[in-house]
Amino acid sequence: MPKWLGNAVFYEIYPQSFYDSNGDGIGDIEGIIQKLDYVKELGCNALWLNPCFDSPFKDAGYDVRDYKKVAPRYGSNEDLFRLFDEVHKRNMRVLLDLVPGHTSEEHPWFAESKKAYSCGEFKNRYIWTDSWFFWGLEGLKFIAGETERDGCYIVNFFKSQPALNYGFHECREKWQLPPEHPDCIATREALKDIMRFWLLGDKGRGCDGFRVDMADSLVKFDDAQKSATSAIWRNIREMLDSEFPEAAIVSEWSSPPQSIKAGFHADFLLDHGNSGYRSLVRDYKNGGEDNSYFKKDGNGGIAKFLDQYMPWYEATKNDGFISMISGNHDTPRISHRLSPREMSLFFAMQFTMPGVPFLYYGDEIGMRYLYRTHTKEGGYDRTGSRTPMQWNSGANAGFSCAAPEKLYLPVDTESGAPDVESQEKDPQSLINMVKDLLRLRSSNEELGSKPNFEILHSGIQGDRSFFYRRGSFIMGLNPCVNAVQVQISVQKTPEPVYSIGGCGTEKGIFKLEPQSFGMWKC
Ligand code: GLC
Ligand code: CA
């Protein structure tokens, strides 16, 4: 386990929308370099960059055409190497986004693989049936009629993203290869080669690891435990442990008991299905009431979150980290359902939980989910969470000096659009609460990633408060409009450390004002 990861607080940057340094309307690597001090002052010491590689951008860069080349719109490989150096100079770290499951249909491997009578190295780099005449198989998406090769190929996501071939756990047809087949092993080795390329950089120290896209999806017809896919990741982890012991891999899997066993250092708690994350920030049905835990007038207690979190936490606490997110480039922004006060309480929890937290750019100021934004690069309803960062109240919110119609996506121009500069001046603003919370986290080891989490109280109905302990710290959250008083037995007199919205204690009774958070040392 790389030691730095245990002290990391990540900031996710969507490169096209963060900061445009050369006025062409699109964010770039130089722009990220110019804003590193901002990220550091906010209290984050690590970055995750969404894919910044050469791509036709049919899925915003998750369709990679050249894994070893920075997309010209963001700069050059030299710029990215310079970013690594600038990050490291500040004692920060950076994860790139690794897309192992599929490439762009424009990748040279696919160009070879799709040829009529394709043979040689790339023949089986993708998954092909042995005839164009094929109606598909349960759970897999096939494309027919697009290529000279007589066969259909599987895609993982959009039509433009053919799935790489890591084999089938259970082979039912002749064209399905087992994961041990040399051509499937070759795919795995090609992935390692890409990882080495960026980990080494130009001077022997490159990026610090990867966030891994759809990490659970490599081997098809895998069993419920994903054992064949896991075996590949364990093999890759062995390579990292021996060649790059300081590198970290974080999975998009959202099943920590599986992914951590598979060798990942951390896994996200995502918004898949009826997840614990959703129960915190957007547990609603269209037209119905909103029962999100952090909604002041919802009905949701914290139990729904804990029901998912606790078994995962118990199963993984000694081997890896659970990463709580504020949101990401695929989710609606948390501000979609939560008010600034509600968001501040969410952050109070996110940044005082064990594991390694990830903050999505712009959430620190409560950037809005612009759900009416016209779809861009396969974003659809995700596009509204990908708009330019709002730095100030000037032209284009300070994101770019291009003409507004040249911007990658339009900025939020409606009244009340938050921005960094204005919030920094206001001591009560969301960004300043985020800074306070991150300062508390980084200056007290007990509030960091450690597995020292204990539930003290989880209320229901009238009392929806949630109290938990981390070493000598006690945290209390009350998302509701009514005040609560909860008895918690403590050995020493609790000393107040921090609060949002007011709280107090008297003889073992903890009092939380409406919509408040308290932190005590005791
Ligand atoms: C992941 C990414 C998402 C992308 C998909 C396909 O879920 O987060 O943005 O569209 O994988 O690569
Ligand atoms: Ca630019």
What pLDDT was estimated at residue 158?
A: 98
CA distance 389 to 407: 12
Ligand 1: which residue has its CA nearest to atom 9?
A: 330
Ligand 1: which residue has its CA nearest to atom 4?
A: 62
Ligand 1 centroid to residue 59 C-alpha, Å: 8
Ligand 1: which residue has its CA nearest to atom 12?
A: 62
Which structure tokens are listed for 158? 């959009």
Q: Which of 16, 59, 267, 381 to mutate to test the pocket of ligand 1 (most atoms within 8 A of CB)?
A: 59
Q: Which atom of ligand 1 is nearest to the CA of 378?
A: 10
- Going through 437-515 in order, the beta strands assigned E by DSSP cover 453-458, 466-470, 473-478, 484-487, 495-500, 503-506, 509-512
Residue 55: C-alpha distances to residues 20, 60, 196, 252 (Å) = 19, 8, 20, 21
Q: What is the pTM of this model?
A: 0.98
Which neighbouring-strand residues pair with 54? Answer: 66
Ligand 2 centroid to residue 74 C-alpha, Å: 6
Ligand 2 centroid to residue 381 C-alpha, Å: 24
Identify the residues whose C-beta falls under 6 Å from ligand 1.
Answer: 59, 62, 99, 157, 213-214, 252, 329-330
Mean pLDDT in order along the chain per 10 residues (522 residues) = 98 99 98 99 99 98 98 98 98 98 98 96 98 90 97 97 97 96 98 98 97 98 97 98 98 98 98 93 90 92 96 98 98 97 98 98 98 97 98 98 98 96 98 98 98 95 93 98 95 96 94 98 95
- Going through 257-413 in order, the beta strands assigned E by DSSP cover 266-269, 321-324, 358-360
Residue showing tokens 């424009």: 106
Q: Within 10 A of 135 (CB to CB), how many other CB atoms are there?
A: 7
Half-sphere exposure of 295 (CA within 13 A, CB side): 19
Yes or no: say if 442 and 43 are a contact pair by the CB < 8 Å rule: yes
167: CB partners within 8 A, 6+ apart = 176, 177, 178, 179, 180, 181, 184, 219, 220, 228
Q: pLDDT digits over 285-330, tens only?
A: 888 899 999 999 988 899 999 999 999 999 999 999 999 999 999 9
Which structure tokens are listed for 263? 């060798």
Q: Which atom of ligand 1 is nearest to the CA of 158?
A: 6
CA distance 13 to 83: 13
Task: Report which residue type is found at 198.
Answer: W
Give the strand pairing for 248-251 and 209-212.
Answer: parallel
What pLDDT was estimated at residue 233?
A: 99
425: CB partners within 8 A, 6+ apart = none
CA distance 498 to 348: 10
Which neighbouring-strand residues pair with 500? Answer: 517
Q: Which atom of ligand 1 is nearest to the CA of 156?
A: 6
CA distance 112 to 123: 7
Half-sphere exposure of 445 (CA within 13 A, CB side): 2
Average per-residue pLDDT for the chain:
97
Q: Which ligand has an atom closest to residue 27 CA?
A: 2
Q: Which ligand has an atom closest to residue 163 CA?
A: 1
Q: Which ligand has an atom closest to residue 386 CA?
A: 1
CA distance 500 to 518: 7
Q: Which of 102, 105, 330, 376 to mutate to test the pocket of ligand 1 (most atoms within 8 A of CB)?
A: 330
Ligand 1 centroid to residue 157 C-alpha, Å: 8
CA distance 520 to 492: 11
Q: Which ligand has an atom closest to residue 98 CA?
A: 1
Ligand 2 centroid to residue 15 C-alpha, Å: 10
Ligand 2 centroid to residue 52 C-alpha, Å: 13
DSSP class of residue 256?
H
Q: Which ligand has an atom closest to residue 329 CA?
A: 1
3-state secondary structure at position 198: helix
Ligand 1 centroid to residue 192 C-alpha, Å: 20
Q: Which atom of ligand 1 is nearest to the CA of 63?
A: 12
Ligand 2 centroid to residue 23 C-alpha, Å: 6
Radius of gyration of the chain (CA): 24
Which structure tokens are listed for 260? 């951590």
Q: Which ligand has an atom closest to residue 407 CA?
A: 2
Which neighbouring-strand residues pair with 360? Answer: 12
Taken as a whole, the chain contains a residue count of 522
3-state secondary structure at position 115: coil
Ligand 1 centroid to residue 508 C-alpha, Å: 48
CA distance 56 to 111: 14
- Is the CA virtual torsion 481, 482, 485, 488 positive or negative? negative
Ligand 2 centroid to residue 384 C-alpha, Å: 20
What pLDDT was estimated at residue 298?
A: 87
Q: Which of 12, 99, 103, 157 to mutate to test the pocket of ligand 1 (most atoms within 8 A of CB)?
A: 157
What pLDDT was estimated at residue 273?
A: 85
Q: Within 10 A of 287 (CB to CB), how many other CB atoms are there?
A: 5
Longest dimension (CA), the chain: 81
Q: Which ranges of 98-222 does DSSP label H, i.e. alpha helix?
A: 108-113, 182-200
Q: Which atom of ligand 1 is nearest to the CA of 157?
A: 6
